């Protein structure tokens, strides 16, 4: 059990690296249990849950956050895109 705990800590240490959340994040896991009106905070960058849910419905499955330039890279099996923080927030307003 203690070994698993230390692996979890090492994973957490890998998340931050030069302004990038270096770990691949699964969108469904990030938004699980959150309401559409809420936002998810990524080390100071706030992404609307509504936008992430909409993108998930469009086929996006994974994401990576680039804090330095405030962008979000998202991809799925048949799609990929990079969104600015402003564009992602705007996407949360549109249905």
Q: What is the pLDDT of residues 39-92, one digit of tens each?
A: 999 888 899 999 999 999 999 999 999 888 889 999 999 999 999 999 998 888
pTM confidence score: 0.74
Paired sense of beta strands 16-17 and 20-26, if any:
antiparallel
30: tokens are 């990030």
Can you give the pLDDT at residue 48? 95
User: Domain boundaries in the chain?
Assistant: 2-93
13-42 pLDDT, tens digit per residue, is 444 455 555 578 999 999 999 999 999 998
CB atoms within 10 A of CB 34: 15
Can you give the pLDDT at residue 52? 96
Rounded Cα gap, residues 28 and 52, in angstroms: 9
The 3-state DSSP composition of the chain as helix, strand, coil percent (nearest 5) reads: 40, 35, 25
């Amino acid at each position: 059990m203690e070994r698993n705990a230390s692996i979890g800590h090492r994973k957490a240490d890998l998340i931050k690296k030069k302004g990038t959340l270096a770990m691949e994040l699964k969108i469904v896991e990030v938004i699980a249990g959150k309401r559409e009106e809420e936002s998810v905070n990524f080390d100071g960058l706030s992404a609307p849950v509504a936008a992430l849910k909409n993108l998930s419905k469009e086929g996006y499955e994974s994401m990576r956050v680039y804090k330095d330039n405030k962008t979000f890279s998202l991809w799925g099996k048949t799609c990929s895109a990079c969104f600015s923080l402003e564009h992602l927030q705007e996407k949360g307003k549109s249905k």
